[in-house]
Structures are given as C-alpha cells and as structure tokens.
Amino acid sequence: MKNKFYMLLLVSGIGLMSCVEGELQREYTDSVNVFIGTGGHGHTFPGATLPHGMVQLSPDTRLIGWDACSGYYYDDTSIIGFSHTHLSGTGIGDYGDILFMPIVGEKPLVAGTAEKPDEGYRSRFSHDKESARPGYYQVLLQDDSINVELTATLRAGLHRYTYPKGSDARLIIDMEPTIHGHQHPVTQIRVVNDSTIAGKKYTRGWAKQHYVYFYAVFSKSFDYKLYSGTEYQPDSTSVTVNTAKAVITFRNLSADGLVLAKVGISSVDEEGAKLNLESEIPDWNFEGVVQQANVSWNNTLGKIDIETSDNDSRTVFYTSLYHTFIQPSLASDIDGRYRTMGHEIKRDTSYTNYTVFSLWDTFRATHPLYTIITPKQNQAFIRSLLCKYDESGILPKWELASNETGTMIGYHAVSVIADAIMKKQCDFDIKRIDYGLTNKTDSMYDNNNFISDYSYVTVNLNVNKDINDHDVPPDGEISMFQTMWYIGKVDSNGTIQRNSNSGAVGSDVQDKHGNVYFEKGETKTITLYYLITDEEFENETLAIDFYIEGSPCKGTLAIIHEPEAN
C-alpha cells in the first residue's frame, strides 16, 4: 500500500481532505485529454512520452512562429512528420529532432507549406481520425492513407505504420527540420545494414550547443537513398552535411501493411542511443510498450485522487497534473553516461542527470507540488541542479540540453532548494549549498560563449510618439503594453532583423507579467539590461527594439553593439 492524496472537488473549488493509506483501482489516464493546451497559446504537444522521459515522440504541424514552440498546433490541417524531442509549455521553441515521415511512392524532399501541402511530403489529416492518451498517439495521414501509431519508453520511441495493401511503402528521414528554424551545422545519417540507420544532429539554437544521436531499427528490410538537401548522394552509406536526408523503401510489404520502427536517442553518442534502444525495446511488442506507458502514467497521476461528479473538472485536473510531469526530462543514458554543462561526457551510475529546467515557470508551484507528491524525484532534480552548479560555477537559471540559455531573470534554483530544505527533504549534499545560493551575478551566466556580460543602456520612451512604423497606435493612446524586447541585427538599410535568440533583454520598469505602464502622454526613462548570447553576432551592428503585442506598432530603442573597425 502507498500514501495517496484524496481530494474532494466541490462546486466552489478543490479541497484537500486527507492523506491516508489506500489503493483505488482507477484508470487516471482516462481523465487526461492530451490535446488540451495544443491550441490558443498553450504550446503543448499530444504525442507519446513518459513521466520525465528523454523521448517526446510527437507530430509536427508547424515549425515557425510563436505557436510552433511545441511543434503542434491544433488548428493546423497538415502534418510535416514525427520527431523525437519536444518542449512542453515554453515560450521559446527548440528541439523537434530526428523527423520521420511515412509516405507512399515518390515525394518531394521538402516539407511543403500549410497552404500548398502537395508541394512537399507533408500530409493532410483530420482530428476525426486522430486519437491520443498518455503514452500513445495515433493519426491517419489522409494523402496516402497511412495509419501512424506512436508510443515510447524513457529513452526510445516506437512507431507503427500501416500502409495501404500492396503500396510502395517508403519513409523519409529528414534531419533538417528544427522547431523555430534553428541552425543545424552538422547532421549525419549512416546506414548500418538493411534494417538499421543511425545518425546525429548538432544544433545551434536556443540551446547554443545541442547534440542528439539516434539509432533506428526497422521490422522490414529496406533499400535506401541518401541526400544532401535534395541532392542525391550515390554509392554512399553515410552522409554528413547540414541537411542530411534519407528515403528508404521497404521490401516485401506484408499483407497487413505493417512496418515498425524503434528509435533510441542519446545526447552522448550513437552507441548510447543504441544501448538505450536495446535495453528498453528489445522486441516488437507495440501493445506491450503502450501498456507499460499507461501503467507508468497511471501510477504517476494516481499520486492524487479527486472525487467529483463533474467530468470536465476531472479532465482539467488530471490533464494539468499530466503536464507537470513531462519536464524536466531525463538526460542520462542507460549506462549512466551524460553530457555536462561543459559538454564533456561523464559516467556516474549513482547519479541521474536531468534537463529542461524552466525554473522561472516552475519554482512557484510545480516544484512545491513535487515536494508534496514526489519528494524523492524533486530531490533528484536538486542533485542535478547542484551537479550543474559544479560544472558551470552557478546554479541554472533556464537550462536546456546542457546549456544555460540565460532566459528570464532571477535566481529561482535558490527557491527550489530552500523549499526542500525547509521541508527537511535533504537527500543531497547540503554542504555544497551555501556558496551556490549566494554566489550569483547576472554576468556569471557566460558558459555559452557569451560575447559580453550583462550591459545596461538608459533610454527615454514615449510609446505614443517614439514608434517608427506607426506614429499613432490603432487604438489611440497606449497607457500599458505587453513588453516584447528584442536584440536584432541592423542591416544595410537600417532595418532591424529581429532575432529572439541573439540575446536576452529586460527592463527595470516592467512588472512580473512583462507589462509596462505609462501615464497618458508620459515620457518614461527606462534602463534596459541586455546580454548578447551568440558569438556570431560579434561582427554585426545590434540594436534593441520592441513591439507592442497585438499591435503593428514597433520601434528601435538603442544601438547597443557595433563591430570594431579593422
């Protein structure tokens, strides 16, 4: 028997009743709607993952734009493919690595556009032919009548495709797509044998140095062609370029049209991806993996039991709880190896590394919740934070794939650790805490080759006058606006090329929601603090600019960096 929290959901809200011994046989996963949050600005994905799993195997419907942060947007009507890594609920996009797309016959080697899907390999789909639950996703690709099913273990994904009987069954593996279109200077695909493909992808995006390796085994043998972009590479078993792609054609498709693909991933190396796969999916039992995923999620969601007659409230509650357990994500291979903040490879079987520490978002409620329902897991997260402190000299602010992104403000790891200590949940080296909690300045977030420490510039702003494109906002005088500061590159015409990944910007006047308030006609003096975070911008003229959310109004506030003259 285990402790389980029982809660009574009343019309007026949720009330905590008691913490008692008991076991209630219930399918909590039935109360999760994984599509909640995939519309609006929720930035969640519906695909298959496990609690804090390394793999997030999910469909991608768009890659560019704010509502592409998770790769999937509910209003979209076509699918680009199915990639193995995704972020959930973030305000910046990254990941979307190792994209698989099953097709029938010859297709262009580009995805095409949402407006003209026939110009690429993407396929239309309908929500009427789509279903999902924790650890399982299914959709019918309408253009080729291919049914796709996905499930996952902690470190591997399992695909099941049902092609039309007698069809020319193929699969595109495209290493080029990345959520938010980040740079990918190195991608590789290597054919191991006639049923196995491996490779790697190195991306420079929000995570400045992001490494993903994969090892994929198929249930059917195949013939293959490798490409650099759309250029065929004949007589090759391996291709290493910035846009590696492969098209494999399955031999001897069975009458049922079934082809399975199991894919291990790793941030360490190809061998790590292979070992992760072989350890977690040794056979082809798709239903067995789905069942294991359901058990894992049911046990996790069952940490809290609620009583309510309102099924909608039950769905909202358990879907919210589901989302709290997607990330942070596992970042240690099955053999204990992991990538450090300095991008060295270490092995420690007594330690588990995690990533995606969105501490700005999670220190207020998520980690305090963990201290109540999964305190051992929360202490494991703290051990990971402290290990990253040892590696980088500072506790993480917003860590992603062994990179400190420098995103947002504050030092919220302190709150997470202090909360655990106050609750006497101290399964970590408390002697390492003192210096880590106090030794912090903004300029110390420099382990991503930042080309400057935080700098400051003071500007005078009258939002109703100092606007380049529109002297008068469409709704008249603006007294409050949602701040969107950017560091952008100034081109030869003096135009700002907005790039949200070139640096971090904040101000001394915005509230915790990012709002800036003006009296009518007021000119306000604002101190902006900024950090240039990408060394490729060292030889560019940079400026801080802004736009007002929901309005076409935008303006340039200050030139902050000019390259040194030769």
Digit-coded pLDDT (tens) for 474-531: 444 444 444 555 566 676 666 656 554 555 565 655 554 455 665 556 666 766 666 6
Q: What's phi and psi for 285, nearest 5 deg?
A: -85, 85
Give 152's strand partners: 157
Give 554's strand partners: 547
Give 49's strand partners: 56
Residues 138, 125 contacting (CB under 8 angstroms): no
Helix (H) or strand (E) holding 372: helix 366-373
DSSP H helical ranges for 374-477: 375-392, 413-422, 433-438
Judged against a pLDDT cut of 90, whether residue 93 lies above it is answered with yes
Q: What is the pLDDT of residue 361?
A: 93
Confidence of residue 462 (pLDDT cuts 50, 70, 90): low
Judged against a pLDDT cut of 50, whether residue 15 lies above it is answered with no
Q: Which range in 264-278, 425-439, 489-503 is most confidently predicted, on average pLDDT?
A: 264-278
Q: What is the pLDDT of residue 542?
A: 72
Q: What is the pLDDT of residue 495?
A: 63
Residues 189, 246 contacting (CB under 8 angstroms): yes
Confidence of residue 410 (pLDDT cuts 50, 70, 90): confident
Q: What is the pLDDT of residue 24?
A: 42
User: What are the respective helix, strand and coil percentages of the chain, to the nearest 5?
Assistant: 20, 35, 45
Judged against a pLDDT cut of 90, whether residue 39 lies above it is answered with yes
DSSP 240-296: EESSEEEEEEESS--TT-EEEEEEEEESS-HHHHHHHHHHH--S--HHHHHHHHHHH
For residue 539, give both structure tokens.
């030889």
Q: What is the pLDDT of residue 430?
A: 80
Q: What is the pLDDT of residue 558?
A: 64
Confidence of residue 19 (pLDDT cuts 50, 70, 90): very low
Distances, alpha carbon 110 to alpha carbons 37, 117, 175, 236, 498, in Å = 28, 10, 11, 21, 26
Residues 6+ apart with CB under 8 A from 496: 486, 488, 489, 490, 543, 545, 556
For residue 216, give both structure tokens.
């994929």
Q: Is 214 exposed, middle or buried (0-12, 13-18, 19+ CB in 10 A)?
A: buried
**Cα(343)–Cα(326) distance, integer angstroms:** 24
Q: What is the pLDDT of residue 161?
A: 98
Q: What is the pLDDT of residue 555?
A: 58
Helix (H) or strand (E) holding 197: strand 196-204
Q: What is the pLDDT of residue 536?
A: 59
Helix axes 413-422, 375-392, angle to 10 degrees: 130
Q: What is the DSSP letter of 238?
A: E
pTM tops 0.85: no
Dump pLDDT digits (tens) for 438-450.
555 444 554 344 4
Q: Which range in 167-176, 400-409, 498-507 is most confidently predicted, on average pLDDT?
A: 167-176
**Cα(407)–Cα(413) distance, integer angstroms:** 13
Confidence of residue 219 (pLDDT cuts 50, 70, 90): very high
> What is the average pLDDT across 453-462?
60
**Cα(535)–Cα(295) distance, integer angstroms:** 46
- Residues of the chain with pLDDT > 70: what percent? 72
Which one is predicted more confidently, 534 or 276?
276
Nearest of 88, 78, 244 to residue 179 by alpha carbon? 88
Which range, of 19-23, 377-381, 488-492, 523-527, averages the lowest pLDDT? 19-23
Judged against a pLDDT cut of 80, whether residue 294 lies above it is answered with yes
Q: What is the pLDDT of residue 476?
A: 46
